[in-house]
């Protein structure tokens, strides 16, 4: 099989890139190793930055998001029994965020792809990217038990943190930066209306807690737990009790709504950046190139930024033979990636309690939160980072 752009992975990055290239008349094929149900049901991100929502609308994938998504103009910081709301549009010249799960984004993009878009092969596992340094790279893949090759002009590695595309970048040119955090997130889905109309990020001596949502009737919540925790170690009641403790406030009007937990999982927290994000005719996008701790809700949004940049570059090359944006791709994306790493790691440090934290560390964290609650400049930096910077 031959195409202009071979895309490995049908997560948000691969699916949106395929859609943008379809729109630009650049033919492309998406290879996805898992089946459609896996991609559409994998519980991950929940918050779309302003620029991401705009990008999905521009790609014709925003209709259900605008109908069912929840626009949020604020987030709450909860610390030392205090509640402080951060007014996002007031601090960023009108930017907000949208609560709309990654599962729904993928469903919308898959539906568009299958309705007249380019080929999307499920259960098609890429085995290797070959010839990235040549003018005719190829993706070897296995589909329905048979090995084949996808001949391309360009390959987009959108295959996530554990994909194969990154392996095609020679060690001699790869630079990897990363850290793991000494804690993880225990996440739950529960059939109960959210306990607050906006997200609540709580810093507590017992650890971090986050109250999020998926809809007006489904709560999404997270607890900081020690690294290596297994979800089965926590009963539903213990989870609700711990959320209640960490979200404690002097405000008597607030209570935690409890309900049946329908999903439970543990996500390790790590940062990871692979430089460069391009090697020859291979481009890395999304989690294939970088991972951020989920505290700042940046992972999915960074993936969108990468593929909007990549689609523009490949389209310019296709239409005008101009490779200038292709040559700038890695530098352009990495600038945004490192800003997201800075923001996400700083917010993680501010809100999570490290196992070796001292009373001095606790006071410094509380001073940092008090500063945000009391100084517009500090609050603005948080709001700008959280709503995301414009994609161009």
Q: Which residues bind ligand FAS (CB under 6 A)?
A: 8-14, 31-34, 39, 44-46, 102, 125-126, 158-160, 163-164, 267, 286-287, 294, 297-301, 303
| 201 in active site | yes
| Chain Cα centroid distance, residue 301 | 5
- The pair phi, psi for residue 208, each rounded to 5°, is -75, 150
- For residue 110, give both structure tokens: 């898959």
Is residue 47 involved in binding ligand PHB (CB under 6 A)? yes
* Burial class for 60, CB neighbours closer than 10 Å (0-12, 13-18, 19+): middle
- For residue 121, give both structure tokens: 């092969």
- Catalytic residue, candidates 204, 290, 298, 318: 298
Element (H, E) at 151: strand 146-151
Query: 247 vs 307, which CB is nearer to ligand FAS?
Result: 307
Query: 46 vs 69, which CB is nearer to ligand FAS?
Result: 46
Residue 160 contact, options ligand PHB, ligand FAS, none, Cβ 5-8 Å cut-off depending on partner type: ligand FAS
Minimum distance between the CB of residue 251 and ligand FAS, rounded to whole angstroms? 26
Minimum distance between the CB of residue 176 and ligand PHB, rounded to whole angstroms? 24
Is residue 105 involved in binding ligand PHB (CB under 6 A)? no
CA–CA distance, 213 with 198 (Å, rounded to integer): 8
Radius of gyration of the chain (CA): 21
Residue 158 contact, options ligand FAS, ligand PHB, none, Cβ 5-8 Å cut-off depending on partner type: ligand FAS
Query: 78 vs 317, which CB is nearer to ligand PHB?
Result: 78
Query: 42 vs 81, which CB is nearer to ligand FAS?
Result: 42
CA–CA distance, 78 with 67 (Å, rounded to integer): 30
Beta-ladder partners of 130: 138
Is residue 212 involved in binding ligand PHB (CB under 6 A)? yes
Identify the residue whose tokens are 């691969």.
14
231 DSSP assignment: G
Query: 213 vs 289, which CB is nearer to ligand PHB?
Result: 213
Q: How many residues bind ligand PHB (CB under 6 A)?
A: 11
CB-CB contact of 259 with 161 (8 Å): no
365 DSSP assignment: H
287 DSSP assignment: G
Residue 295 contact, options ligand FAS, ligand PHB, none, Cβ 5-8 Å cut-off depending on partner type: ligand PHB
| 72 in active site | yes
- For residue 260, give both structure tokens: 């049946």
Indicate which single residue of 6, 137, 157, 294 sits in contact with ligand PHB (rule: CB under 6 A): 294
Helix (H, G, I), strand (E, B) or coil at 144: coil
Indicate which single residue of 95, 220, 246, 279 sits in contact with ligand PHB (rule: CB under 6 A): 220
- Catalytic residue, candidates 294, 318, 329, 352: 294
Helix (H, G, I), strand (E, B) or coil at 370: helix
Query: 185 vs 283, which CB is nearer to ligand PHB?
Result: 185
Report the catalytic residues.
72, 201, 294, 298, 386
Residues lying near ligand PHB in the complex (CB under 6 A): 45-47, 199, 210, 212, 220, 294-297
């Amino acid at each position: 099989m031959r195409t202009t752009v071979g895309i490995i992975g049908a997560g948000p990055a691969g699916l949106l890139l395929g859609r943008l290239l379809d729109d630009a008349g650049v033919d492309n094929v998406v290879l996805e190793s898992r089946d459609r149900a896996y991609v559409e049901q994998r519980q991950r991100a929940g918050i779309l930055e302003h620029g991401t929502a705009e990008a999905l609308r521009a790609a014709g994938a925003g209709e259900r998001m605008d109908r069912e998504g929840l626009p949020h103009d604020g987030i709450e910081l909860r610390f030392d029994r205090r509640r402080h709301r951060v007014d996002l549009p007031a601090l960023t010249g009108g930017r907000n965020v949208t609560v709309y799960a990654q599962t729904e984004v993928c469903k919308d993009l898959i539906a568009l792809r299958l309705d007249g878009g380019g080929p999307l092969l499920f259960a098609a596992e890429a085995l290797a990217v070959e010839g990235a340094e040549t003018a005719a790279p190829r993706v070897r893949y296995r589909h329905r038990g048979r090995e084949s090759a996808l001949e391309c002009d360009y390959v987009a590695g959108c295959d996530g943190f554990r994909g194969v595309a990154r392996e095609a970048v020679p060690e001699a040119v790869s630079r990897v930066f990363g850290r793991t955090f000494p804690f993880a997130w225990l996440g739950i889905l529960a059939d109960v209306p959210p306990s607050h109309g906006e997200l609540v990020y709580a810093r507590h001596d017992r650890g971090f807690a986050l109250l999020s949502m998926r809809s007006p009737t489904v709560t999404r919540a997270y607890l900081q737990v020690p690294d290596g925790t297994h979800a089965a170690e926590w009963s539903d009641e213990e989870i609700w009790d711990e959320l209640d403790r960490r979200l404690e406030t002097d405000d008597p009007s607030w209570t935690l709504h409890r309900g049946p937990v329908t999903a439970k999982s543990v996500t390790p927290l790590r940062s990871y950046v692979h430089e460069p994000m391009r090697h020859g005719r291979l481009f890395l996008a999304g989690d294939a190139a970088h991972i951020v701790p989920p505290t700042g809700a940046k992972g999915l949004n960074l993936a969108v930024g990468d593929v909007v940049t990549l689609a523009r570059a490949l389209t310019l090359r296709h239409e005008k033979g101009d490779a200038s944006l292709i040559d700038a791709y890695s530098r352009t994306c990495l600038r945004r990636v490192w800003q997201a790493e800075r923001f996400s790691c700083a917010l993680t440090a501010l809100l999570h309690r490290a196992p070796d934290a001292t009373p001095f560390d606790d006071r410094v964290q509380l001073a940092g939160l008090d500063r945000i609650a009391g100084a517009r400049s500090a609050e603005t930096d948080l709001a700008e980072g959280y709503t995301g910077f414009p994609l161009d």
